Structure 1
């Protein structure tokens, strides 16, 4: 009797299970696509390239030859752009213009001719604009030196590499009258221009790329090349009043390129005026000159310089033009610069200390500037 009961119970359970399954199949029937869903091949290895109020979205062509179109969505699907897939080419790309300056998530869907869509693929990118541009700093020029042959050497300051500075652009007029542009990488501490037209200047700006995938470069405004000093490599001291001794006190130290050495006139055997005459090697147009006291053996500065001096120029070392008397502050370090409004043409110049606290004089350096 128990055996019959157990068999009946098992039959009843089996019937219930079969009935329940049939009801479930009926319930899910409306959600099943006969033959299964068809997906187009998705975008492969997408990248977003930043730009000036724009972004280029690109991806590799997939293996699915049926894909004929794609759509790129952004702003949570509120905006989109369609892309026709060409028959040839390995890369598909689209430029999205007129974007606000911010980061975006782009969603790419591809489609076949029947309208079947791929699964979505996301890529993040951003556009740059006025805010980024406003924080860019021009790489400074520390000095510009004109050589005897007319070539100029630009000594650069530090570049704003944290914001993407990668080059400096120099615009100048060459000896044939043509306007030229040259790019110099930020890794270069000095740059040389060999063919700049005499008596002209250059201007420069800094180029930026906000990231390695940027399709656009950004630029600072142009800055005038400014003051140019004359290279002292070929300068010679052709005459001088006295020097205390050769070596650390020699008059040649007055033109060696640093205020860390000194020209010390003869102590106990000389009196004002003290002078040095310099041959620059070629004729120049001097617009300014600068004078330093020395810091040799005295980091805080040596105050035994003159209170007054004169500056003279000559083309032939025979006829001299005196440009007047100038005050010198012997109590401060650094260059003290003086204008020559006459823009004196000269190959030779003469520095003459005329008044000071001692009978002798101690000086650091002298430089000339112009064209």
Structure 2
């Protein structure tokens, strides 16, 4: 059988042309004749958290046709549009939006409505929930040693886990000027050499929700009333007083030994034997402070024994007179077991006025004798600045 080679190849050519035409017809309806033109998309987009807002930034477009951008969220249900100036160095936009975590879609457009490919980013808005978990850093102690006049503020732990970056302290200096001081979270003690005694202070704790936050959030101010600051009274101002009826000293253990700073080295103070109760008087040198506490150290080697004070009272007066009618009782106290090296702390009942002169009246020593002596190694008094 003979095959006409020319006719065979001609038939194949016709079949190929017909097949290609059918394929073109199939896909032609999906092809845009001039092609799709996209404007430049937002590049290197960054988001920053804020208080009921999110900040967006990205590099300025190189494509001069980019005229605006639109940000979508909630699956395109919500959006915000803004213009992009042609001479912008960068693009920046604040979107006001309720608290929450969001997924955003960003598209850019030219004036003809042509758009870019979408860009997806995540963002966070801070609101009432975060604010409700912001707390002021605790102030555990505010203390002035009157020997040097410096105020020591001791702080509790900072809430760095939830974003605390420190707190701002406001106080009044000795010249009467208001000052502000920022305290870092790692600072445990703040020392103020220029604090004006008796004046109020306050502080606010600062938070940032995360490292991208554009808003520093502040708590309501915590007040530190001036009359809550504790002052260690300056022992260099203390003076011995001997009024009629006061106990006599014995064995060379004189009254100034009670404020010589030696808590466990003899000699201390010692009275002569006499019936109980016995009392002594001394001068604080100032009358600016209402007493907050009284601390005493017992004679070492005789803890809870012999003439260490068991039951006693403290009295105050601004009139140096022996008669009890000019004295006001500050409190009755009973000694108990305690850490000897730290001394024994007695808190004065609140509401006391400020007194310059103090009287210690001992009703009973630890040995329980009705006639005998009592002794004290050291004392320490703390007070609050007094405002009548």
Structure 2 Cα separation of the partners of residues 329 and 56 of structure 1: 64
2:349 corresponding residue in structure 1: 339
Q: Secondary structure at the match of 1:133?
A: helix
2:122 corresponding residue in structure 1: 124
CA shift in 2, pair 1:218/1:20, >3 Å: same
The one of 270, 277, 289 equivalent to 2:292 is 289
CA shift in 2, pair 1:277/1:109, >3 Å: farther
Structure 1 Cα separation of the partners of residues 61 and 362 of structure 2: 82
Structure 2 Cα separation of the partners of residues 112 and 60 of structure 1: 17
CA shift in 2, pair 1:239/1:2, >3 Å: farther
Structure whose alpha-carbon radius of gyration is higher: 2
- 2:88 is the alignment partner of 1:79: no
CA contact (8 A) 1:72 1:82 kept: yes
Structure 1 residue runs of 5 or longer lacking an equivalent are: none
Q: Deviations over 1:36-73 (max 9, x none)?
A: 32221121222222122222222221222221111111
Q: Deviations over 1:199-221 (max 9, x none)?
A: 32212231111112212222233
CA shift in 2, pair 1:263/1:313, >3 Å: farther
1:28 corresponding residue in structure 2: 27
Once the 2 structures are TM-superposed, how far is the Cα of residue 103 of structure 1 from its aligned partner? 0.6
2:112 corresponding residue in structure 1: 114
2:92 corresponding residue in structure 1: 93
CA shift in 2, pair 1:196/1:237, >3 Å: closer
Q: Secondary structure at the match of 1:21?
A: helix
CA contact (8 A) 2:97 2:125 kept: no
CA shift in 2, pair 1:15/1:202, >3 Å: same
Q: Secondary structure at the match of 2:41?
A: coil
Structure 1 Cα separation of the partners of residues 250 and 132 of structure 2: 55
Once the 2 structures are TM-superposed, how far is the Cα of residue 20 of structure 1 from its aligned partner? 2.7
Relative to the length of structure 2, the TM-score reads 0.73
CA contact (8 A) 2:268 2:378 kept: no
Q: Deviations over 1:149-206 (max 9, x none)?
A: 6552212111111011111122334456554443222122222344444432212231
Once the 2 structures are TM-superposed, how far is the Cα of residue 350 of structure 1 from its aligned partner? 6.0
1:143 corresponding residue in structure 2: 141
Q: Secondary structure at the match of 2:28?
A: helix
CA shift in 2, pair 1:92/1:144, >3 Å: same
Instruction: Summarize the alignment of residues 147-158 of structure 1 with structure 2, pairs less than 5 Å apart.
Output: 147-148=145-146, 151-158=150-157
Structure 2 Cα separation of the partners of residues 216 and 38 of structure 1: 39
CA contact (8 A) 2:291 2:352 kept: no
- 2:230 is the alignment partner of 1:229: yes
Aligned pairs, number: 353
- 2:200 is the alignment partner of 1:201: yes
- 2:229 is the alignment partner of 1:220: no
Structure 1 Cα separation of the partners of residues 35 and 347 of structure 2: 85
Structure 1 Cα separation of the partners of residues 281 and 11 of structure 2: 124
CA contact (8 A) 1:39 1:119 kept: yes
Once the 2 structures are TM-superposed, how far is the Cα of residue 326 of structure 1 from its aligned partner? 1.7
Q: Deviations over 1:14-53 (max 9, x none)?
A: 5444333322222222222234322211212222221222
Structure 2 Cα separation of the partners of residues 295 and 119 of structure 1: 84
Stretch deviating more after TM superposition (180-189 or 360-369): 360-369
CA contact (8 A) 1:244 1:266 kept: no
